[in-house]
Structure 1
Amino acid sequence: MSLRDQIAEDLKNAMRAKDGLKLSTLRLVQAAIKDRDIAARAEDRCQGCGEGEIMALLQKLVKQREESAETYENAGRLDLAERERAEADIVRAYLPKPMCEQEIEQAAETVVDELGATGLKDMGKCMGALKQRYTGRMDFSKAGETVKTLLQSRA
C-alpha cells in the first residue's frame, strides 16, 4: 500500500473512530499532498508527486509543528504546544525510522567515495545524492555537517 493510500485509509478510520485530532491532522496532510500534486501537474508531471516528495512534505510538516510548539511554549501557551506536538507525532508515524548518527556518517562516506569528491566544491553534488537516496530517513543538517567534515579532511 502506498503512503498516499495509507493516509487516506487512516483518515477514514479516524472519521469512524471520531478521533478529531487525527482527523484534522490527516486532512491537513492530504491537503498539502493535493497542493503538491497540483504543482507537479503544472510542471507536466501528470501522475502528481511521488513517494519521495510526499516523504519530504511530511518531514517539513513535522518540522513546522515542532517549531510552532516551541514558539507556543515560549509564549506560555502549553495547551497549544501540546496539540502541535501531538500533530507532529501523528505525521511522524508515516515516516520511516530516522537514521542514527552512525548510519548518516556511513552513508555520507559512501556517497563521497562514489562521487570521488575531493573538496568543499563537491558538497552540493554529495548532498544532492544523499537527498535522492535517503529522503524521509535522514536529518540533512547533520548529514551536511558530516559531509563538510569529510570533504575538509580530504582537501
Structure 2
Amino acid sequence: MVTMTILETLTSDLTVSMKARDAFRTNTLRQMIAALRTAEKSGKTAHELTDAEAETVLTGEVKKRRESAQIYTEAGADERALTETTEADLIESYLPVALTDAQLDSLVAGAIASTGATTPKEMGLVMKAANAAAAGLGRVDGKVLSQKVREALQG
C-alpha cells in the first residue's frame, strides 16, 4: 500500500471538493496547497516538503486563523470569526492528533529526567529534549509545552 503525502492528499481532496461544488472546502484547500507550495519555494533552493515540514506549515496556518478569529470576535465580527475557526478546524483535520495533557506531562517529566534539569535556567535544554521526544507522537503546541516545562521546573 502506497501512502500519500499531505500535499498529495490535499490535491486529491481538492478535486473531490471541486466536483462536489463545495466552495468553502475548495477555497480552504487551495489556500493550504498555496501555503505549502510557497514554503517549498522559500529558502535558498526549492525543495519538496517532507510531511513533517508540511505539518509545520499547516500548523502555522491554523495558528494564523485562530488568532484572526479571536481578533474578529473582539471586534464583533462574529461571522468572520466563525469562518476563520471553521477553516482552522478543516486544516487541523489534516494534522496528527494533538497530545493530551497527560501525555504532555509524561513527556515533560521524561525530558526533565533525561536532562537532569532542576532550575528554570535549564528550560531550553528541557524544551529541546521534549520536542525531540514528541516528534512522531502527535501534534504539540509549543506554547503549552513551554508552560508545562516552566511549571515543572519551578514546582
Shorter-chain TM-score category?
0.7 to 0.9
Corresponding residue number in structure 2 for 1:99? 99
Deviation at 1:118, TM superposition (A): 3.1
TM-score, length of structure 1 as denominator length:
0.85
* Mapped contact 1:36–1:48 kept (Cα < 8 A): no
Cα separation, 2, equivalents of 1:121 and 1:51? 33
Deviation at 1:53, TM superposition (A): 2.0
Runs of 5+ in structure 2 lacking a partner?
none
Q: Which has the higher helix share?
A: 1
Runs of 5+ in structure 1 lacking a partner?
none
How many residue pairs get aligned? The number is 150
Cα separation, 2, equivalents of 1:86 and 1:145? 27
Aligned residue runs from structure 1 range 1-155, under 5 A: 1-40=4-43, 42=44, 44=45, 47-134=47-134, 137-153=139-155
Cα separation, 1, equivalents of 2:51 and 2:79? 33
Bigger shift: residues 51-60 or 92-101: 51-60
Cα separation, 2, equivalents of 1:77 and 1:89? 19
In structure 2, what residue type is equivalent to 1:22? R
- Summarize deviations over 1:99-143 as a string: whole Å, max 9, x none: 111110101111222223232232112223333443661122121
Identity of matched residues, %: 29
TM-score, length of structure 2 as denominator length:
0.85
If asked which structure has higher relative contact order (CA below 8 Å, sep 6+), I would say 1
* Mapped contact 2:115–2:126 kept (Cα < 8 A): yes
C-alpha change, 1:13 and 1:132, in structure 2 (3 Å) is farther
SS of the equivalent of 1:109 reads helix
Cα separation, 2, equivalents of 1:61 and 1:78? 20
